[in-house]
Amino acid sequence: MDIAGLSTALSMSKTQTELGAAMISKNLEMMETLGDGMAEMIEATDPDRGVNLDVRV
């Protein structure tokens, strides 16, 4: 493979990696927002829910 082809391939790989990382970051942000919304909805229905936690081993 020539230098120009290698450079192009590496550049495309870097771009794909950066795009993938940006998409994962955006998905994480969206999931955090959805989780916060769910927690608010649960608290709105019953403010005492989740105060006590029973654990059995």
CA dist., res. 25 & res. 29, Å (int): 6
- Confidence grade of residue 1 (pLDDT, cut at 50, 70, 90): low
Please write the tens of the pLDDT for every residue from 40-51: 887 777 767 667
Whose tokens are 């990382």? That residue is: 21
Residue 43, pLDDT score: 77
pTM given for the model: 0.59
Residue 46, pLDDT score: 72
Residue 31, pLDDT score: 96
CA dist., res. 34 & res. 43, Å (int): 14
Domain boundaries, the chain: 1-45
- Identify the three-state secondary structure at position 56: coil
Is pLDDT at 14 greater than 70 in this prediction?
yes
DSSP letter (8 states) at residue 2: -
Average pLDDT over residues 31-46: 87
8 Å CB contact between 42 and 49:
yes
